[in-house]
Structure 1
């Protein structure tokens, strides 16, 4: 991490913490979502008829999930009287499984979705229930736990179709680096991308059997491919996927100017340099040769087989740290990020990456929202987020926690995450904690000119579907350096450029209409 950024963070903390404190009032004690009346108190003070809620969320079921759910059901027994039937879907199967579930009309009461998954498509298909009325009547705590900016920026066609799941206004990004290997090789702490790659080459030369660098190779995690991931630390050009293809840089925005650019029309030199660099890293054996086949980045890392991999957070997940130590007691990951903490340097549209939605077919819509309202209260949030106090975790002050077992992994992002009750990991280094605090303050970011814009994909739905099928054949392979970029990009362009142009034209038309009303 750059020394200058650390200094900026330290000097800003006093002002930032004051802003955060005032933000607790201004940003979390919000009114009901715009367009709604003040929420009524949830009717949970009397015992209701027993209902089983079917919930579908991503990830792996924690070992101690049954104990936590049993405690939650015990707490709800005399009021909500809810039983929780939770299905965990592996990340690699998430898109297909959730899409098939919704298409089949299977009875599901709460389901995870996201802009990077198929949220917009499912909204257009009528799969999800609009939530304003339910939140008015049953969601007082859900509403209060999220700032008004979060509600305003996460509507679709002017309505709330999913409860935004996030604790910050900007997604943390960084690399997990094997600190023990770095120190054994006598390499100084990593402060730049060049330092990171030098370390990767040293691992390749001196530590056989370890993958030096492992980016994401799944089509569903395209934004974590080697070439694409670097955009998160580029505050010069502000390159970002357009609102339609949310993980693809083929159609992209830059410099917050409200225009959609097309790589097939003209290749951006910065993006091309990232692509060429990825190719060199793959050819040199720095990027793992099986990058496209690995479904879960963290699994080989937990097994001690990876020196560097990228993740969507600033710090180190306790379950990954403990897992790697089980394989090698001396092994240890450290967090490295090149995030620029200069105020207003980063652009945010305040949109969250993850949502929990109520399918239109649910027969328990009211109870589903009542349950989420119950879960968005401090003690209940702590239970479902961190596990059983004294067994899985213990509080550190008012806003931190410390894990004391490995049996309950952190996954509130899948169903209940909010900025009011989310605790910081007390084991994180001070700089990581400062980054996490920084991203909780909305005023630290420049507002994206497209904040609040949602794309109606109806006019080009077929083109989007066809384009996505073609892109899946080329994009992650190119962005991870697995194939020759010159010939593969030409093949990709030949197959997909016509579709991309139609999507771009419709997208720009809708953006222009949106901006004309601002």
Structure 2
């Protein structure tokens, strides 16, 4: 008994030491999670962190508890000179709020954006978040499963942003097969077409159409030939007439492989654009414009940003929207002036979808939780919003009251940060400042324009057509669009009648009937569910 008693303190000491070691190991695993997706990153969630006196997350401890990670983002357009410096400041700020991240910010020119994103996704590249839209690669990327499902992550790591989406009801538009795969913007607008021209040039040439006097394709054709006659040696435009014919006939482009429907069709029957009467009309007009030098000869292959060409005086005419008729386009030369005319003002036209500008998280991202925490901070923190959108005060923007202006000597074309491409999906109406492009209450007026009776919501807004059963057919259709449709649209076809007829037959042979049947089935199911 004496021997047993003498060993007892030693055994207790050993047990105590083992307990401490196990506890330390367990703690180390929680805080050292390298992928940022589980308990280690939860400690940095500002919604769960301790609060300081101002109500902000008490950052010093939470930032230390998180392992630093780098978030790789892709936006569209050209990278501006101060981008890395600004996002370094963004990193410093969010670290002070408890989010321990750095940023690797990349840009892809818009002319290459769609193809580059699809190639990167197919190659299994790793990045964290990218800009996208229904006019770029979003629908194809979502259809191919390239974007991460956020059903569980979004409410957990971005509760404020999730609440905003619930209030607006916009998440349905970004939901594919029950999975939320995109983060839509929260703006309201309509992009019905305006004819827009350099009025300083037309005045000089003695061409003086009144505002809103050009209403039809025939009016526009006559005006553009006058403009070309006045400036025969200059490049005039990259705009094709197809979209104007679509507006005339109230055709809705679904953004689904050249398919659409007519607004006056209560059954919403999907049809291929190439079989519509207006398609040949547009092709004949495009041929005329190409031959007469109204459409630039290199328009089909020109990858330079069209908006930049317009601002820099490289185009004399473009078709545009209410936004860029009433916003400041940021002309490189202050002597450049624009005038405009609303085309087919009595025709119905669908409002822009919530998918017009989207942020999406790559399915291969290892830091989706951190991305969502960052986006949630952006939803509630005006200081962070100013940093991300406008940059560093005094270096990339200056404040004139509440207005964010360019620093002295800068403008849109020479900006070192402001008006960077792809920022639109991160716009927050509650924080937006007036700026050189958009004056006070600009977006209120834009929403009022979208609310006019002739501007309507699409009956299938929010529908995402799954391509699982027609992958081969849509791949062939897309290839034919690139090979045969683009030359027709840009006026490069030598014999329009033959080119259109051949194109129609080509697409029929590519499995058009199967595509229509599958898409129509999903449209009918969507409409039935809405009743």
TM range (shorter): 0.7 to 0.9
SS in 1 for 2:250: coil
1:346 to 1:440, Cα distance in 2 relative to 1, 3 A:
closer
Normalised by the size of structure 2, how large is the TM-score?
0.76
**Aligned partners of 2:48, 2:309: CA distance in 1, in Å?**
45
Q: How does 1:115-264 map to 2 (within 5 A)?
A: 115-146=134-165, 147-171=167-191, 173-186=193-206, 187-191=208-212, 192-193=214-215, 196-215=220-239, 225-231=240-246, 233-234=247-248, 237-242=249-254, 244-245=256-257, 248=258, 250-255=259-264, 257-263=266-272
Residue in structure 2 matched with residue 67 of structure 1 by the alignment: 85
Q: Pick from 271, 285, 290 the counterpart of residue 277 of structure 1.
A: 285
Normalised by the size of structure 1, how large is the TM-score?
0.77
Residue in structure 2 matched with residue 13 of structure 1 by the alignment: none
Question: Structure 2 stretches of 5 or more lacking a match?
Answer: 1-44, 50-56
Q: How does 1:5-404 map to 2 (within 5 A)?
A: 41=47, 43=49, 45=58, 46-47=62-63, 48-78=66-96, 79-146=98-165, 147-171=167-191, 173-186=193-206, 187-191=208-212, 192-193=214-215, 196-215=220-239, 225-231=240-246, 233-234=247-248, 237-242=249-254, 244-245=256-257, 248=258, 250-255=259-264, 257-263=266-272, 266-268=275-277, 270-296=278-304, 297-311=306-320, 314-315=323-324, 321-323=330-332, 325=333, 330-334=335-339, 336-338=341-343, 340=345, 345-348=348-351, 350-376=353-379, 377-394=381-398, 401-404=404-407
Q: Deviations over 1:254-294 (max 9, x none)?
A: 325243343579533x4433332222222222111221121
Q: Which has the higher contact order (CA 8 A, sep 6+)?
A: 1
**Aligned partners of 1:429, 1:372: CA distance in 2, in Å?**
26
Q: Deviations over 1:146-191 (max 9, x none)?
A: 5523223332223311101352243465454212112222314441
Find the structure with the greater CA-based Rg: 2
1:339 to 1:40, Cα distance in 2 relative to 1, 3 A:
farther
Question: Structure 1 stretches of 5 or more lacking a match?
Answer: 1-38, 216-224
1:451 to 1:95, Cα distance in 2 relative to 1, 3 A:
closer
1:312 to 1:468, Cα distance in 2 relative to 1, 3 A:
farther
Residue in structure 1 matched with residue 431 of structure 2 by the alignment: 421
Q: Tell me if structure 2 keeps the 8 A contact 1:478–1:489.
A: yes
Q: Tell me if structure 2 keeps the 8 A contact 1:419–1:440.
A: no
**Aligned partners of 1:454, 1:462: CA distance in 2, in Å?**
18
The alignment yields a C-alpha RMSD, in angstroms, of 3.4
Matched, 1:509 2:524: no
Q: Deviations over 1:211-240 (max 9, x none)?
A: 22321xxxxxxxxx4312453x44xx4201
**Aligned partners of 2:275, 2:489: CA distance in 1, in Å?**
17
Q: Tell me if structure 2 keeps the 8 A contact 1:463–1:503.
A: yes
Matched, 1:497 2:515: no
Q: CA deviation at 1:513?
A: 2.2
Q: Tell me if structure 1 keeps the 8 A contact 2:133–2:357.
A: yes
Q: Deviations over 1:93-126 (max 9, x none)?
A: 2223212222222221112333344434433443
1:420 to 1:170, Cα distance in 2 relative to 1, 3 A:
farther
Q: CA deviation at 1:195?
A: 5.2
Q: Tell me if structure 1 keeps the 8 A contact 2:274–2:504.
A: no
Q: CA deviation at 1:52?
A: 0.6
Q: Deviations over 1:181-216 (max 9, x none)?
A: 12222314441245544442232112243222321x
**Aligned partners of 1:423, 1:256: CA distance in 2, in Å?**
41
Residue correspondences, number = 457
**Aligned partners of 1:311, 1:136: CA distance in 2, in Å?**
37
